[in-house]
Structure 1
Amino acid sequence: MSRLLVWVQHLWGIGHAARIAAIAKACRETGIETTVMHGGAPRPGIYGEGVRVVTLPAIRSLDAQFTALVTAQGTPVTQDQWAERLRVMRETLRETRPDTILTEMFPFGRRAFARELLPFLEEARILTPRPRILASLRDILVAPSTQKKWRDSEEIFRAFYDGALVHADETIIPLSRTCPFANAIRTRLTYTGYVADEAAGRQSAHGEIIVSGGGGASGFALCRVALEAARRSEEGSPWRIIAGPAMPEEAWRELIAMSGPAILMREMPDLSSWVAGARASISRAGYNTVMETWRARIPMILVPFATEKETEQRQRAEHLASLDQAIHLPEAALSPDALREALARAKPPAPLPIRFDGAQETARLLAARAQARAHA
């Protein structure tokens, strides 16, 4: 049985961990022994049965602007805490002896974690046999603050990595659109198709308007406006608003106090399958939410979370709107009436040949490469 060791770190929302969870599940079902080193706030049950989860001392972002890294308690991360994370990572590496190591986003992102990942990768590459080292990337990268950081990313990639799995479709959004050295490493890139929950597309129609705040950490503004839009709505479709499990408690209580005709929920475990039967989806433009909605081929209104540093969601929403796949409603223009007007215009996405089996394709690729290596 081949062995896979994954490193993933979510800082604000839970999208990074959710995407890795889908890949880990597919790998487990393919017969790959999978271990995930999870570095964000604990998310019990997110990886499902059969996947070993090693919880690193949690680190998160202080705020939505990503101004600093802090512990789960909101205190500065100490040298001892960084050292403990690295100790656990090294111990896990020695225990699992993986055939393949997968780092989520690094070195194309998560650069602040180089202090633990570089010594970890140094140890990994001297193992015998040496594991294949791969990066796991979403469709759109966030530009760093300096060009030097891009150069550092390329240098690290060339020094340690055998390749990168891009969970996207090159004909829709090539990595070169947001990574300046993508063409220079083109032979080491493999596009897997998009990672989307298999449940999306199976639900029978129920006709609701589904509003999703994503993980919830940055979903309050959207949910608040959606509650008022539902109150003013004159069409017959019921509204269901899912705030997200990571929404701060104070914000959640404020939404409850605003209650109206909409069904308001903190979270919905089977959201991806429920979205498939919706009249329309209104959501942030995070990777996982978009892919599950897109796969279901229902009308999609995207209100991206965007800050000066975080441009990924805005770029995705703009690009999909340009392809007639969604309506892009910037948060600066968000209001109950603007939301209702966008809903009136929304229609199913134009036909495009798109693959949404990225998790399964990733598992197939990893299993095939491990088998080929075993017989080499």
Structure 2
Amino acid sequence: MYCQHVLGVGHFFRALEICRAMKGHDVVLITGGAPVESILPENVREIRLPPLMMDRNFSGIYSHDRDKSVEQAKSERRDFFYRCFIEERPDILIVELYPFGRKAFRFELDPVLKGICNGTLPPCRVVCSLRDILVEKDDVESYEKRVIKTLNQYFDALLVHSDPDFLRLDTTFSRMDEITVPVHYTGFVASMPDRGKTLSELWPLPAGSDASCQRIIVSVGGGNVGRELLIAVVNTIALINRSEGFRNRKKIFVKLFSGHFMDDETFSFLKQFESEFVQVSRFTSDFLNLMSLSDLSISMAGYNTCMNILASGVPAIVWPFDQNREQRLRATLLSYRHPIKVLSDDDLAPEKFSVIIQEILDTSNKGRVKINLSGAVNSARLIVLPSIYS
């Protein structure tokens, strides 16, 4: 399975969740972004290509290894990936996102796809693994034409990680009728919380605290975006704690996670707001379990985070990444089915934000929505069925 994350780590963890579901199979996970520390299942081996990432404006690729230029990294990656394919001789190659995205990585993907197609590489099935929503393009006609050509020529099947009763690919891709390879909806790829974990185990209160304390979990995924939301949260919580109007309310306990790649300056700033009721960390392996025990989640609206919200049933406030339509579209659609408040930039002002937080805490209850969240298991089941390729 080939996966290239370029800004955050959502693509990596979605791919890993699918790999985890492939029990009984030898899985090689080839990654090309900045290293992400994670616990791999016994049947999964990760092979890391020289890491390439994109800046937060998606204006260009840079080498994560300062000792290598972009061109050096590209050359090494292209040769290494090609040799890796020959050595591993996979039965199935799963390519995450491409050709619907990651055009900048054609330099290493196309040689392998062409080699499989023309017989110079060992034969195998080729599957595209695709999330629910595509980002908008400047030249839609040219983009969709290129996608169709590459998909139909080199791929054997397309797996769309969405629930078709909720969100179909044709919402953001207009030429579905020109796709000639089989298309299968898997449901959303989501991890599920461990319901055996308890509040006292994962989120103990400070000594002498009222047991009715309300817990808020704050996150921005694993990338280096979302700084504005995190700063707005710590400033708003500080306002709430000193406001006369909140003196008689329940105490609020905040766990804030900045993500793997948040810059050190922002992280240091956030740490200044720590107290016995505000904890700031970069990452936790218990994130989903903590979310399931929370009274409110405040986050951005990436694919994985939204699936965590649905899996845990927690009421949520989300501030979508506005570089493209993906997060706002997903969050808005989900808000019709789940207690999710979608923020605008103006809502981040502490005076306004504090009222929104209070309203959600006072009125929202946990719940479950009827959306298929079994995408990982379904993907693992589908790819080994000969019938999905015809």
Q: TM-score, normalised by structure 1?
A: 0.89
Aligned CA-pair RMSD: 2.4
* Of 236-245 and 157-166, the range deviating more from structure 2: 236-245
Report matched runs for 1:199-238 at 5 Å: 199=193, 203-204=197-198, 207-233=214-240, 234=246, 235-238=250-253
Partner residue of 2:185 out of 178, 187, 191: 191
Please state whether the residue corresponding to 2:93 is helix, strand or coil: strand
Distance 2:120 2:371 in 1: 39
Output the CA distance in 1 between the equivalents of 2:121 and 2:76. Answer: 25
| Equivalent pair of 1:60/1:71 in contact (CA under 8 Å) | yes
The verdict on how the C-alpha distance between 1:46 and 1:184 changes in structure 2, with shifts beyond 3 A counting, is farther
Q: Counterparts of 2:382 and 2:293 in 1: how far apart (Å)?
A: 32
Question: Which has the greater radius of gyration?
Answer: 2
What CA deviation, in whole Å up to 9, does each residue of 1:224-249 have, x standing for no partner?
11112222333323111111121111
The number of aligned residues is 363
Matches of 1:114 and 1:216 in 2, distance apart? 23
> Residues 73 and 319 of structure 1: is their aligned pair in 2 closer, same or farther, counting only changes over 3 Å?
same
Amino acid in the other structure paired with 2:148: E
Q: State the SS of the aligned residue for 2:137.
A: coil
Aligned counterpart, 2:111: 119
Residue 350 to residue 208, structure 1, CA distance change in 2 (3 Å): closer
- For residues 232 and 212 of structure 1, what CA distance do their matches in structure 2 show? 19
1:135, distance to aligned residue in structure 2 (A): 0.7
Per-residue CA distance 1:203-242 (angstroms, 9 max, x = gap): 4466511111211411221111111222233332311111
**1:139-218 matched pairs, under 5 angstroms:** 139-147=132-140, 148-185=142-179, 188-199=182-193, 203-204=197-198, 207-218=214-225
Q: 2:322 matched to 1:306?
A: yes
Aligned counterparts, 1:1-376, within 5 A: 6-27=1-22, 29=23, 31-45=24-38, 47-61=40-54, 63-73=55-65, 77-125=69-117, 126=119, 130-147=123-140, 148-185=142-179, 188-199=182-193, 203-204=197-198, 207-233=214-240, 234=246, 235-260=250-275, 261-307=277-323, 310-346=324-360, 347-348=364-365, 352-369=369-386
Distance 1:21 1:351 in 2: 24
Deviation at 1:105, TM superposition (A): 0.5
Q: Relative to structure 2, which stretch is displaced further, 65-74 or 334-343? A: 334-343
The aligned amino acid for 2:174 is P
What do residues 309-340 of structure 1 show as CA deviations (whole Å, max 9, x unaligned)?
A: x3211211122224444110123432223333
Aligned residue for 1:258, secondary structure, equals coil
The superposition leaves residues 93-138 of structure 1 with CA deviations (integer Å, 9 ceiling, x where unpaired) of 1111111111110000111111221111111232676211111111
Tell which deviates more after alignment, 127-136 or 117-126.
127-136
The 1:24–1:255 alpha-carbon spacing in structure 2 relative to 1, beyond 3 Å, is same
Corresponding letter in the other structure for 2:217: I
Q: Could you say if the C-alpha distance between residues 183 and 281 of structure 1 is closer, same or farther in structure 2, counting changes exceeding 3 Å?
A: farther
